[in-house]
Structure 1
Amino acid sequence: MSANHRTDQITTVSAEGVETSVRAKRRLFPWLALGIVPVLVAGGAVTAHAHKSVDLEINGEHHTLSTFAGSVEGLLAEKGITLGERDLLAPAPDTALADGADVVVRTAREVTVQIDGEEQEVWTTALTSGEVVASLFESGREVSVAASRSLAGGRQALDMPLVVDGEADVVADGATTRVQLAGTAFVPDALEAAGVEVDRTDRVEVRTGENAIPVVVVTRMDRGERTETEPVEFETVEREDPTMLEGETEVVQEGVPGERTRTFVTVTVDGKEAHSEQTREEVTTEPVNKIVAVGTKARPAPAPAPAAKAPAPAASGGAATATPAPAPAPATGDVWARLAQCESGGNPTIVSANGLYHGLYQFSVGTWQAVGGTGLPSQASPAEQTQRAQALQARSGWGQWPACARKLGLL
């Protein structure tokens, strides 16, 4: 008969089940509680033929019974006890029953254990979780019984005691504490005796140690959240500028990297991260693009070379003399005033409409810095602007101001 079809006369290995079993037995045999021994009545006379006193242990609960049964099987039938196919009975059913005999009944149950790291379902008739792991440990495998889910619900690990009048080791937070437990003791009793508190997220399991002493192992488990950041590269954007000559470029705005944030849910075991899973990713700081102005204004064609003049008649007996080409206009103060008037209307603080060119001579910021200027050209004094314009002309010529220089006859 399977365990699912047993009557309420069969006990379980839980504390609650044992109490139920005792109550059931008392309902079946009220004379046990009263100390009444059944007798046979024959022809008006009372006899006690083949009377025996037997100790019957059911899942650790002892009962002294009076019986007339001749065998163990007869005793079970007389008391209405039905066994499942995996239940334990000692001695065998056909064993003759003598006065003072001991009969043991253990109800089998299916439990979940970890064997070599893999979860398995096994059947056992052990009365304590300590016995469960000890019996399986004898096979040379690493065995543990999880207790966390039961503890979180206020129940005991496997609904089974840890030990009965025995020792246990409690391992938690890097320390091992041996405790002596009296009577029927459960995992919480061992934790309390060792002064160890557990949270609902902690993992508690029962293993076996030396001399088959059960070991209660507490693993601190914690769920949390952490973030990681990484840069987001900026892009470079080119913008056409009709006021700049073709081939000229200038950085109008420097690029700034952004930031991307990733969020992870984590599981830590005894303070060390054991698992993480990404739950969110977002750009928390947008990058700033780099902007480069690119000139589109056509460069002026080079000025044609002056036509060669016919050599002057040579003096009698003398060689012809070449006429030199006219030199560019000298860089006099009047020239710089006229150039400033052409470029900016003579306004030292003016800035072009696109924001790229500044001051009397319409310096770009890059060119201004190249000749030693700092800040913005339009913020410098007229004298400094003229000084740096003269330095630029001495280095690069009048072509730095192609339109106005041509207009003024400087090219």
Structure 2
Amino acid sequence: MTCRSACRGARGARTGSHRRSARRRRSRYVERPGDGSMRRLLPQALVVAFLAGGTTAFVAKDKAIELSVDGKARTLHTFADDVTELLTEEGVEVGAHDVVAPGPDAEIASGDEVAVHYARPVRLTLDGHRREVWTTAHTVDGALRQLGVRQEGAYVSTSRSRRIGREGLALDVRTERTVTVMADGRARTVRTNAATVRDAVEEAGITLRGQDTTSVPQGSFPRDGQTVTVLRITGGKEVRDEPVPFQVRRTDDPTLFRGTEVVEQAGQPGLRRVTYALRTVNGVKQKPRRVKAELVRAPRPQLVKVGTKPLPASVQGADHLNWQGLAACESGGRPDAVDSSGTYGGLYQFDTRTWQALGGRGRPQDAPAAEQTYRAKKLYVRSGSSPWPHCGSRLHG
């Protein structure tokens, strides 16, 4: 046998051996009966398991809640986590004055109760004070209790059982108060829900007559613990004629010496007729009150001329004489002196006729002392000391 034949035989033997090994290896992975069905059922089982778990979570999230809105309750199912979310889901709007229990941020669990109480505006006048308040009560009685208003003996403007709608209502309440009324020397204390002092006085059994009044306005609201005094008033009227002062009007006159004033027109007072109301309060006379005035006669003004002319410095032939001594003798040195008869006046006791003949205006006693001395000097130059028969000698003393 040649090597070629032997070698070919050996290779053939090895090739056959390899083929048998390969068949044995492939035989290990051959599908067994039923393996394909198992692989097809596995995904379906996973889906069923997922759905079962989701249903459990779904059921766990659902909550049974009892929701009461303004007294109307109902049970519902929700997935909401808190009160605000629940109310939003249910379309329940809540205002600033409404009450939610538990609070809007509270978490909720199955079996919880959530209540919404709508607030109602009440325009409340309590013992004379007006204000707007809010209440979640459904009746007037409930509102008064909620607001802490003392109801015993109180006046309420409407039935306490009246229901309050969402629009609210106006309510006037007067609580019972203690008021003491002093009248005719006696004190009477009453418990009253009166609206005015006048009503409280009447409840005390006191009658106001004529001009009678009270120490506080009768239409005012009586306060708890207040003391009201009744004033018994009698009175009448009195008419008096009263003078109206006249005005003094001064005008400058350059023909008169400075310091001289001459009354050109004497003033005359007017007349006013005045009506006074007279009152006696609890037996005590009050100051008369002027209620009416009528001008009967208008006053006449007094017109006065005021001199502006400078006085002369001297009178020749008379300046050296003792005029102070003469004045002391005639009038005691008083420029406004008047004798007992009313005829003579001034420092040097001029009569009015002589005074005016010397250029004076008005009466001598109304002129300044300097002018009186000046005119006395002029009289001396004209007549010597004879106008002063008793005191003329003083001029040379």
TM-score normalised per structure 1 = 0.25
TM-score normalised per structure 2 = 0.26
